[in-house]
A and B are shown apart, each in its own frame.
Chain A
């Protein structure tokens, strides 16, 4: 019997990366499992060697130049008592070929359904990404560079981010944009902090209940430890009645946070809402869908002070939710209160146009605890994706995408609401996303719809615990989103699947009652 000596030292993993005991490992070693890669007959030390350059001879030369005997001597700075005496208990190393096999196996577990049609919404969407976007961001000169501290060595990134700021400002209708934040949720919180700095009001932030529940959860976390009241205005009708808002805005309110189109897909009376905020001396913060402005007014058109967005629809893959792109843009008078990186245009000593990190006195590496935010990175590579995407689409392309989303969504609603047991939750104008309520157990319906090849959601149940349970009132309800990628055949397929599923569930309920 072959014996795995590493089993004595390492925590080992079988095919399911279950932790196993040395004994069971000895058995497993005989089978086809990843543990075999730590067996002495393989003597595989991992591809660390592929990434290291120095030969043992060179290492010796280097040690000699340093004046020590061994690499261990270099680590004498670490007190003996804290030095690890045994190897880390992590999975055994894999050569590239086996790693790829392993990753393909794991990835395949996520596609067992054979690639269902994605009609999921809620802030991330299955939009089309042109090949050029992937090609550009796979340039090593972009993705293996870092923060452009040395402007002369980073004009490529700096100019691309300047162009990002330009295109995002045009998209939002605002004067300026920063060079990006983490994602939509933290952008809303950063905008709230920014509004506090601009208004000097730190006591009260008002947010509509139709803003993405996860964005509101993030906001609650960010504000929790401060003496700042977070007021949520319920939206039982799917969008807010401006009359409910006016009374909540007072002289202590830093900002009113609106999403448009909102989480439920509905349009808000944004012009009226931003005017109410202005009347109260508060700023209006609007989270918008960057695709929607192909057909809808831009935040700058309806008086927003700060426009934020989840930039994922702009050429960024879904990636199970990250990394995505936080967009933040605003009126120019607030620029020195902005969080995050800003790129500015200037000239060099020869008078040549140049781009630099600008207004760094706002940032943590200069201002430390007085900085406008603790953020250090931006989402550089995702900002680049958005820039390339918008450059490819141009005004007409963006309009085409937005119109197709809007048309598909309205066709889907028209067809779906004819099904007995399906109702549109909110009878309001919408853009590409809408809320449905089912007569029957939505989990069962979702499973059958999924088996038929379609994914819709998220189910509102997921947000049941957000702020006092507005969502609890909407049982068996969920979101459905349509993008430009969807076809009539797919939408008709969904309608058929929902029809069958609802009928099936109703029948089950009836027979159970009998």
Chain B
């Protein structure tokens, strides 16, 4: 049933002279372009874009879309990514005239509604974090990490302290060390304890007066709450360092506990995960940061401030914090994603936010309980919103790997979990069901996994069988990179 011709490359569908978007000439008195633009700047011809009719374009991209798995079509338990349902109302509301069409340089007095929303985003995110000062600017989680580390850097410089080190556990997301390196810090990786949690002795051994920040995800990437987080914070604070919370896993704890309450000094959110962004096939994200009040002066500008106008009415304006680290992007932020997060939080309220976390944790624990006999779960009797199973034993017994299982799951109509992360678990399968899945779906997923373990290993190792392609050759792709389509022979 699949229309393969429509999923040729868009450039291969091109036919010279075919048109889709046609624009009229400007209705002003015509001038020769040669009189307006000096000849050395003029292009001899426009770029060789494909030439298509509107129907070609629609059919091509709609058919391409059917080659994706997505939350709207499949259970998508990709660990660490919080693939929850993205409410349709957000799409409608974020596209309202007056929100979607605002130029970033519109005058403040004409966008008071937008600034009010953004001000409230700052407040709500500050409250959920327990860290009152918020910058909405970062474009994604990694951008938030980088921004917060620059804030830390500015704070210590201001205090005359030369702190050069950022520490993180070996279970950390790759963005943590990458952001720390970009922010100019030396990266020190710590070994986790056998229980998968921070090893306090290891931490103490590495924290000194050169330590700026310890970055930790809590719950961590094994899906475990760092039960010693209070002691971790004490160790850092006694040494004058800051505790950074990677908020990738906020879906587990929102409304239950707050990073600011358990000792965090700064954190980032992933609005596209926790607050239903959506994920957009890999972005856009939005990675606001929340920090303690004594760090507020260093935040990037602009932030939204609230005052009152001459009539005593609230008035919102953009301000730059006094000791700001500077701009970290052009314009204000990934506003349209923030709007979706705002709609989500206004829909849920305090109880709803807590209910979301509760059910995310319930679903994950239920899955873990049902899978525990089939797979080893090396860490934790209970988990938070996700858990990491290991296929090591299955590799030994049946010769099928986590990757094989992941691929075979696609045949069964489920997106695969995150595999081979975190690095501290061999043959890792990181499973995050989220709260927006039913028991029926979770049961079907468990059944599928158990069936896979009972299948002929050859069947599993050659999977997937039903997808448009199977096991593309990544080595060849990297050895001789083909990153663009060749020019057509027949461009006009």
Contact = CB atoms under 8 A, between A and B. Distances in A.
A100 B351 contact: no
Interface in A102-141: 102-113, 115-116, 118, 120, 122-124, 126, 128, 130, 132, 135-136, 138-141
A177 B484 contact: yes
A182 interface: yes
16 contacts: A17-B120, A48-B348, A48-B355, A90-B350, A141-B65, A145-B71, A162-B483, A185-B327, A186-B329, A225-B183, A317-B100, A322-B331, A373-B178, A374-B175, A376-B174, A395-B492
A382 B337 CA distance: 12
Contacts of B64: 155-156, 159-160
B38 to A, nearest CB: 5
Contacts of B22: 396-397, 400
A380 interface: yes
A351 to B, nearest CB: 10
A377 B284 CA distance: 7
B374 interface: no
B182 A374 contact: yes
Contacts of B106: 110, 120, 320, 455
A84 B101 contact: no
Contacts of B179: 374
B257 A110 contact: no
Contacts of A184: 330
A205 B19 CA distance: 43
Interface in A8-61: 10, 16-18, 38, 45-54, 58-59, 61
Contacts of B150: 221, 224-225
Contacts of A470: none
B9 interface: yes
Contacts of B158: none
A166 B369 CA distance: 47
B335 A59 contact: no
A344 B262 contact: no
A163 B362 contact: no
B38 A54 contact: no
Contact of B258 (A84, A93, A225, A294): A84
Interface in B33-48: 33, 36-38, 40-43, 45-48
Interface string B214-257: 00000000001101011000000000000000000000011111
B470 interface: yes
Given A91-B124, A347-B473, A384-B61, 19 more contacts: A90-B128, A147-B279, A149-B78, A152-B471, A163-B11, A166-B10, A169-B483, A182-B140, A214-B327, A297-B43, A322-B331, A343-B483, A350-B469, A353-B469, A358-B481, A365-B174, A393-B49, A400-B25, A404-B25
Interface stretch (A274-282, A406-414, A416-424, A500-508): A406-414
A374 B469 contact: no
Nearest 4 A/B pairs, CB to CB: A321-B331, A93-B349, A109-B113, A48-B352
Contact of B335 (A217, A267, A322, A488): A322
B169 interface: no
Contacts of A76: 382
B430 to A, nearest CB: 11
B288 interface: no
A94 interface: yes
A224 B361 contact: no
A345 B482 contact: yes
A140 B36 contact: no
B110 interface: yes
A195 interface: no
Given A81-B230, A217-B326, A394-B50, A371 B347 contact: no
A111 B98 contact: yes
A46 B349 contact: yes
Nearest to A267: B41
Given A346-B476, A361-B478, A58 B57 contact: no
Interface stretch (B203-211, B392-400, B431-439, B447-455): B431-439
A343 B481 CA distance: 9
Of A226, A399, A431, most buried by chain B (CB within 10 Å of CB) is A399
Contacts of B67: 154-156, 159
Sort chain B's interface into a size bin: 35 or more
Contacts of B174: 363-368, 371, 376
B102 A319 contact: yes
B281 A77 contact: no
B485 A319 contact: no
Interface string B176-211: 011111111001000000000000000000000000
B11 A318 contact: no
Contacts of A176: 483-484
* Residue among B23, B314, B369, B410 facing the most chain A CB atoms (10 A cut-off): B23
A475 to B, nearest CB: 18
Nearest to B300: A221
A457 B96 contact: no
A320 B114 contact: yes
A78 B253 contact: yes
Contacts of B469: 151-152, 155, 348, 350, 352-354
A46 B439 CA distance: 21
Contacts of B296: none
A48 B116 CA distance: 24
B142 A376 contact: yes
B103 A120 contact: yes
Contacts of A3: none
B285 interface: yes
Contact of B9 (A159, A343, A458): A159
A71 B435 CA distance: 13
A360 to B, nearest CB: 8
Interface stretch (A62-70, A240-248, A249-257): A62-70
Interface in B461-492: 464, 467-474, 476-478, 481-485, 487, 491-492
B87 interface: yes
B155 interface: no
Interface string B112-125: 11101100100010
A139 B70 CA distance: 10
A65 B370 contact: yes
B26 interface: yes
Nearest to A335: B481
Nearest to B125: A90
A110 B262 contact: no
A203 interface: no
A337 B100 CA distance: 35
Contact of B112 (A109, A353, A382): A109
B54 interface: yes
Interface in B347-375: 347-356, 358-359, 361-363, 365-366, 368-370
B113 A124 contact: no
